[in-house]
Structure 1
Amino acid sequence: MQVSSALLISALLGTALAAPSPVQTKGHAVTLDLIAGQGSANGGMNFNGGAKGNRTFTVPLGSQVTIKFTNMGTLAHSFVIRKGGAAPTDADATDAVFPAAYAPARVEVGIKSGMHQQVTFTAKRAGSYYIVCGVPGHAMAGQYIRLMISKTAKVASFQ
């Protein structure tokens, strides 16, 4: 069995390897790896381990954004990018603030565990938005995080 040298050094030094970033920026193209049900945070009702708006993707204004959506949870999940403001209690495709900023087409049904979907849209308006699960009851349970489209950011980030 081969072990990578980075893994071996990490094990010998007692350090953890950093998880890969869920954001990539290349020119005006941004890729976000959006993962539903990542771990047990908020009872599995989370995106990338965040819930109730406690994590934020930041994207530069004008970026072409590709969201690679994966469901790692045990339940079906979806996502819709909707306006910010008061905490969301639900979401459907008509709430999407940008064309194609949701998946799957029937957000109320979601995708099953282990499935993937990909969408691309242009971040045309700066502001604060939510990424919300559209499966009934999930937003109310806290399955939403934030998306900031920033006039000043040069690269995408996740905090």
Structure 2
Amino acid sequence: MRLTSAFSILCLSAALGTAFAASPVHTSGHAVTLDLISGQGTANGGLNFNGGFKGSKTFTVPLGSVVTVNFQNMGTLAHSFVIRKGGTVPTDADATDAAFPAAYAPMKVEAGLKTGMTQKVTFKANKAGAYYIVCGVPGHAMGGQYIHLVISKTARTASFN
């Protein structure tokens, strides 16, 4: 009997003791949940979101969604996030840069959340366009801790690539 390549990869992964990560996006009607993990692994020296840095990953959300961000700091440093308008590569961010009301955490963005802490925020994705998710702890954005967020007129479900 011949195994499919996906099944083979799954078996090899199980044998090596690694696991596939669950999707960090969930869509239910007009509600979208994003699991935003800061400092996940060692990519970019821990200055990353869900392993992405310097814009290498993108969350896409349908226009009009009510977005809940479950923010978790798994890094060894304090981290935060701010959703800010796209364009020029970000070198910093604070709460006043938020493109949507409440689209940042924690309240003191520059201080960040300590290791192991979590925070949940909710906002309405009511403006289509390109945005950045940026760490507001001083030096982190300049070090590459930012990824993309697209609020899409055509997407039907949220995704992460």
| 1:99-118 → structure 2 map (5 Å cutoff) | 99-118=101-120
One of 51, 59, 63 as aligned partner of 1:49: 51
In structure 1, distance between residues paired with 2:115 and 2:74? 5
Letter in 2 for 1:114: G
Q: Deviations over 1:60-119 (max 9, x none)?
A: 000000000000000000000001011100000000000000000000000000000000
Task: Tell me what 2:12 maps to.
Answer: 14
Q: Deviations over 1:113-145 (max 9, x none)?
A: 000000000000000000000000000000000
- Relative to the length of structure 1, the TM-score reads 0.91
In structure 1, distance between residues paired with 2:28 and 2:114? 30
Seen in structure 2, the aligned counterparts of structure 1 residues 99 and 74 have a Cα distance that, compared at 3 Å, is same
Letter in 2 for 1:43: G
Task: Tell me what 2:147 maps to.
Answer: 145
Report sequence identity in percent: 74
Task: Tell me what 1:59 maps to.
Answer: 61
Gaps of 5+ in 2: 1-6
Letter in 2 for 1:85: G
One of 52, 73, 83 as aligned partner of 1:81: 83
In structure 2, distance between residues paired with 1:13 and 1:33? 27
Does the alignment pair 1:90 with 2:92? yes
Corresponding residue SS for 2:23: coil
Seen in structure 2, the aligned counterparts of structure 1 residues 12 and 55 have a Cα distance that, compared at 3 Å, is closer
Gaps of 5+ in 1: 1-8
Corresponding residue SS for 1:14: helix
How many residue pairs get aligned? The number is 151
Seen in structure 2, the aligned counterparts of structure 1 residues 63 and 11 have a Cα distance that, compared at 3 Å, is closer
In structure 2, distance between residues paired with 1:131 and 1:11? 32
In structure 2, distance between residues paired with 1:66 and 1:12? 31
Corresponding residue SS for 2:90: coil
* Residue 19 of structure 1, CA deviation: 1.4
* Residue 32 of structure 1, CA deviation: 0.1
In structure 2, distance between residues paired with 1:12 and 1:95? 42
